[in-house]
């Protein structure tokens, strides 16, 4: 049975997509079967996985509105090593269309029943807002992975996110739990990084991954080649960090 993880934070630019793509590639390199689902109309996880979002004939949009199954839409990404359910700008319209459909919050969850046996991990790349797409992700997931940049406003946004997770958990998905807090674009120099980092540990305890993702230019470059960093420059600090995260992730699951 797949473990379904929503990678979410309503703040943009914190490393959600980078984490989805690179954690997926690292888990695949460790022989896990992974599906990445792009839930952001910007389609960055799609592009970063090597799929041309302007050439899509079907996308996650078709799955959400119910005209296609997951298997009819997903693509295997080579050399990334995982399957991707791609997105493009069409998804912008999904919000409005979903409102008029039955079970609007749980359509993704229902669509994933079909493929739960096919994968070990399903990673959901959420848009930077708490909209109906994010609600679908949180209703479908068992775990929430929250990338956080250790800066002053990071904690402010987190309480709104935790409230949303709590509300959705009570209404739709009682088993939902925090999978982990991931410190991204980590720069160990400023003392603010340590302050925020300490506050995260105080509040979330061992839910904070001990792996931190450093700021690394290769991580920012690799999406323009449609490659996870592991397949772009496997010796880079970014690649090493995401491999370490995948290792920690698998160990946590096994524990
Ligand atoms: P989100 O999906 O949360 O909006 P992204 O993953 O798209 O965030 O990251 C935002 C920007 O920062 C992108 O240009 C990405 O390439 C870059 N980036 C993300 N993580 C790192 C990192 N660890 N080091 C350097 N650049 C990064
Ligand atoms: Mg993103």
- In words, the CATH class of domain 3-254 is alpha beta
Please state, in angstroms and rounded to a whole number, the distance separating the CA atoms of residues 137 and 7.
9
Q: Calculate mean pLDDT across residues 158-170.
A: 92
How much is the pLDDT for 101? 94
193, HSE (Cβ side, Cα atoms, 13 Å): 13
Mean pLDDT for the chain? 95
**152 pLDDT above the threshold of 80:** no
Q: Answer whether 213 contacts ligand 1 (Cβ < 6 A).
A: yes
How much is the pLDDT for 102? 94
188 pLDDT band, cuts 50/70/90, is: confident
Centre of ligand 1 to C-alpha 97, Å, is 30
Q: Which of 119, 59, 109 is nearest to 83 (CA)?
A: 119
Q: Answer whether 241 contacts ligand 1 (Cβ < 6 A).
A: no
Please state, in angstroms and rounded to a whole number, the distance separating the CA atoms of residues 76 and 229.
17
Burial grade of 222 (CB within 10 A; 0-12, 13-18, 19 or more) = buried
Flag whether the ipTM exceeds 0.85.
yes
CA 32-38-39 angle, to 5 degrees, is 135
Q: 3-state class of 56 per DSSP? A: coil
Pocket test for ligand 1, best of 18, 47, 146, 242 (most atoms within 8 A of CB): 18
Say how far residue 191 (Cα) sits from the centre of its chain: 28
Q: Answer whether 14 contacts ligand 1 (Cβ < 6 A).
A: yes
Structure-block tokens of residue 81: 């090593």
Ligand with the closest atom to the CA of 43:
2
**252 pLDDT above the threshold of 90:** no
Angle, nearest 10°, between helix axes 16-29 and 237-254?
Answer: 70
Please state, in angstroms and rounded to a whole number, the distance separating the CA atoms of residues 165 and 121.
20
Please state, in angstroms and rounded to a whole number, the distance separating the CA atoms of residues 117 and 191.
45
Please state, in angstroms and rounded to a whole number, the distance separating the CA atoms of residues 6 and 138.
6
How much is the pLDDT for 139? 97
62, HSE (Cβ side, Cα atoms, 13 Å): 15
Q: Answer whether 187 contacts ligand 1 (Cβ < 6 A).
A: no
Say how far residue 242 (Cα) sits from the centre of its chain: 13
Tell me the pTM.
0.97
The residue whose CA is least distant from atom 5 of ligand 1 is 15
Q: Give the lowest-confidence range in 34-43, 52-61, 99-108, 148-157.
A: 148-157
Please state, in angstroms and rounded to a whole number, the distance separating the CA atoms of residues 209 and 241.
12
Q: Return the bridge partners of 38, or none.
A: 125
């Amino acid at each position: 049975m797949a473990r379904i993880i929503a990678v979410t934070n309503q703040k943009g630019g914190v490393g959600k997509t980078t984490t989805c793509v690179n954690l997926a590639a690292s888990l695949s390199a460790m022989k896990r079967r992974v599906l990445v689902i792009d839930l952001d109309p910007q389609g960055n996880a799609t592009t970063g996985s090597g799929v041309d979002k302007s050439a899509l004939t079907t996308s996650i949009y078709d799955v959400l509105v119910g005209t296609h199954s997951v298997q009819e839409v997903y693509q295997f990404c080579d050399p990334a090593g995982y399957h991707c359910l791609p997105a493009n700008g069409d998804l912008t319209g999904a919000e409005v269309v979903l409102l008029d459909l039955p079970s609007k919050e749980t359509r993704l969850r229902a669509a994933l029943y079909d493929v739960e046996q096919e994968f070990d991990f399903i990673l959901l790349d959420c848009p930077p807002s708490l909209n109906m797409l994010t609600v679908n992700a949180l209703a479908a997931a068992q775990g929430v992975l929250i990338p956080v940049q250790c800066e002053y406003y990071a904690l402010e946004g987190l309480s709104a996110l935790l409230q949303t997770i709590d509300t959705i958990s009570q209404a739709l998905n009682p088993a939902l739990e925090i999978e982990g807090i991931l410190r991204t674009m980590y720069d160990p120099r400023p003392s603010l990084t340590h302050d925020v980092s300490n506050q995260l540990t105080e509040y979330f305890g061992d839910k904070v991954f001990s792996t931190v993702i450093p700021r690394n230019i290769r991580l920012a470059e690799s999406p323009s080649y449609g490659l996870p960093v592991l397949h772009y420059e496997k010796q880079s600090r970014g690649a090493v960090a995401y491999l370490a995260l995948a290792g920690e992730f698998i160990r946590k699951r096994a524990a």
